[in-house]
Structure 1
Amino acid sequence: MGKPEIAKLGYVALVTADLEKSLYFFREVIGLEVTEEVDGVYYLRAWGDFQHHTLSLEQGDRGYVRHIGWRTKSKEDVLLFKNNLEQASVDVEFIEAWDTPGIGEAIRFKLPSQHTFELYFDITRPEVEEHRKSVLKNQTYKSWAKGISPRRFDHVNIHTSTDVDQTYSFLENVLGFKMREFLRDDDGSVLAGWMSVTPLVHDVAVLSKPNLPTPARLHHISYWTDDSQDILRAADILRENGIEFIGPGKHGITQAMYLYVMDPGSGCRVELFTGGYLIFEPDWEPIEWTMKERAIGNTYWGDSVQDKEANKITIEA
């Protein structure tokens, strides 16, 4: 039997200090659709997302991430991952099917970075009301119905104050991620890695940050828009709503165009993302960036991510 595999990034379970503000931000400004509300938890997805949700929102005493969910390639993979993790002396929590709406049997565990990941396969794909439904059979909702209206969930960016090499190794050797691009410090250590299980340059980015208030932090979640004009339109919508943002700009690493904005309820940063490139080469060699190249890696052109004070804000994960 082959090694178990992760198919894609699934969702982020986000707790917010102000649910009303977060719901307005994600529904009306970002333009996500609510699929369901259960016991005060709201489940949302973009118009091109197919599974039950890619984001959940619930009220709490502060903004933080409960866990980050990933869908495996088969139902059997969930159990295989569970066995592999336990053999590696990782504590694994089993989650009953549908305990989280839309998500079947799942397992949760912590990375060496102390971020909590969830793995699952079975999902539901809720029916869409006629007035929100796209006429396209290969699309969930009408596009451009409201707000910025990104197509789909894209990636997460996480930070840790732990030994980041242990997390890179865990992601590669236990979970099957591949390093695509990375930033090396002058002393030879890797400070940041962009890793994926799909042809995307990254499904997850992991950065070393020694002086964090807690070991595991979330820098941002990201939603994909179809093209650069969508990013410029997003800037107009944010300005009309009186919401500050960073960008537009273009990363050297990933080659993607970006815009960053903060959810005023949770403090969670959202990156709106487009462009970039896909990796189909089976023998891809990771791209190395040095500290001398860091500035252009972060910001190829446009509003600088690195220079903005808001860029340093993260939430607990």
Structure 2
Amino acid sequence: MAAEIAKLGHTALVTPNMEKSLWFFRDVIGLEEVDHQGDTVFLRAWGDWEHHTLSLTPGSEARVDHMAWRAKQASDVDLFAEQLKAQGTPIQWIEPGEEKGQGRAIRFRLPNGYPFEIYYDIEKPKAPEDKKSRLKNNVYRPSNGIAPRRIDHVNVWTSNPGEVHQWLSDNMGFKMRESVRLSNGFVAGGWMSVTPLVHDIGVMLDPKGQSSRLHHLAYYMDNVTDILRAADILREYNIPLEMGGPGRHGISQAFFLYVKDPGSGHRLELFSGGYLIFDPDWEPIEWSEQELDSGLIWYGPQGSMEDTTPC
């Protein structure tokens, strides 16, 4: 039986200004501070059950330490390790507790350099009594800052997206949901998932030709009104809104708001709407180069967001 990925687990970021990044993600965005390990701080949204969906670690420059994916069962971690070693991909074993709250895991890099982690065992701590939701199917009461519900996806840039799309499909079971094909036949972007979400990861062409950069990580808001409220909160703190404010993507049909962590420059997308895919015979939707403007921005602000942080 082939090993399978269940979902996106967390993103581990390094920041040159830990104090400001923690203020941004905890006090303004409203992620809950869960735990510490040395200088690393672990956070999650009020609807996230796992120990953490984001970690922040101080460092000399902004970068991505790893993007983590949860396997469908514990034995899949070993199966992925065997599969990767068989094709010549170096792996690093992470022992239980080495990343706090998490069991045994593997870390490796995709051919273009993206740093991935695969794990299964993870703690699911309860919220403190003074923050605990009375709804048994929630973790926290949503009461702090912008307060997104849960982690949603990551978006990464590379010089050859098609190569990464194929690798993710062949080795981790990702399915293409939507894509952009240029007039010369080159696939410039793909939105892929292992869940019913329209994408757990987006892999896009880097116009600067770099092989592995994080464009953004995304957290999910329940509705577009929450996106507008988020814009108001960010402006109250004098934090610039990228491209001037919220809009809607054609691809994924989602409402969006982009903002940068002022401590690191890591980009965050607050994401709402979209659609779910349940059809087992889903046919990927392809957008042409001539349709690209509508695909990226259905309506809302226009602008460029080419600067990203290294993986």
TM-score (norm 2): 0.98
Contact 1:134 1:141 in 2 (8 A): yes
Please state if 1:233 is matched with 2:229.
yes
Contact 2:250 2:294 in 1 (8 A): yes
Show the counterpart of 1:30: 29
Structure 1 residue 211: Cα displacement:
2.0
SS of residue in 2 equivalent to 1:135: coil
**Of residues 199, 204, 209 in structure 2, which corresponds to 1:207?**
204
Q: 1:58 & 1:266 partners in 2: Cα distance?
A: 11
Structure 1 residue 210: Cα displacement:
4.9
Contact 2:161 2:190 in 1 (8 A): no
Q: 1:90 & 1:210 partners in 2: Cα distance?
A: 27
Show the counterpart of 1:165: 162
Please state if 1:147 is matched with 2:145.
yes
Q: 2:277 & 2:178 partners in 1: Cα distance?
A: 11
SS of residue in 2 equivalent to 1:312: coil
Q: 2:235 & 2:112 partners in 1: Cα distance?
A: 36
SS of residue in 2 equivalent to 1:22: helix
Show the counterpart of 2:14: 15
Please state if 1:138 is matched with 2:102.
no
AA partner of residue 69 (structure 1): A
Q: 1:125 & 1:244 partners in 2: Cα distance?
A: 34
How big is the alpha-carbon RMSD for the aligned residues of Structure 1 and Structure 2?
0.9
Q: CA-to-partner distance for each residue in 1:201-254, whole Å, 9 max, x for gaps?
A: 100000121524x52100000000000100010011011110111331000000
Q: 1:289 & 1:113 partners in 2: Cα distance?
A: 24
Residue pairs, 1:136-285, within 5 angstroms: 136-143=135-142, 145-161=143-159, 163-212=160-209, 214-246=210-242, 247-285=245-283
Q: 2:184 & 2:122 partners in 1: Cα distance?
A: 45
Show the counterpart of 1:106: 105
SS of residue in 2 equivalent to 1:301: coil
SS of residue in 2 equivalent to 1:153: strand
AA partner of residue 157 (structure 1): N
Contact 1:113 1:164 in 2 (8 A): no
Identity %: 51
Q: 1:157 & 1:248 partners in 2: Cα distance?
A: 18
AA partner of residue 230 (structure 2): A
Show the counterpart of 2:307: 313
Q: CA-to-partner distance for each residue in 1:64-120, whole Å, 9 max, x for gaps?
A: 101000001000100111111111111111111121001110001111221010000
Which segments of 5 or more consecutive residues in structure 2 lack a partner in the other structure? none
Contact 2:149 2:220 in 1 (8 A): yes
Residue pairs, 1:32-71, within 5 angstroms: 32-71=31-70
Q: 2:171 & 2:36 partners in 1: Cα distance?
A: 34
Q: 1:132 & 1:210 partners in 2: Cα distance?
A: 44
AA partner of residue 27 (structure 2): E
AA partner of residue 214 (structure 2): L
Q: 1:17 & 1:49 partners in 2: Cα distance?
A: 26
SS of residue in 2 equivalent to 1:140: coil
SS of residue in 2 equivalent to 1:302: coil
TM-score (norm 1): 0.96
Show the counterpart of 1:300: 298
AA partner of residue 65 (structure 2): R
Q: 2:271 & 2:206 partners in 1: Cα distance?
A: 23
Q: CA-to-partner distance for each residue in 1:174-193, whole Å, 9 max, x for gaps?
A: 11000000000110010000
Contact 1:74 1:121 in 2 (8 A): yes
Contact 1:182 1:194 in 2 (8 A): yes
AA partner of residue 215 (structure 1): S
Structure 1 residue 168: Cα displacement:
1.0
Structure 1 residue 55: Cα displacement:
0.4
Q: 1:291 & 1:164 partners in 2: Cα distance?
A: 15
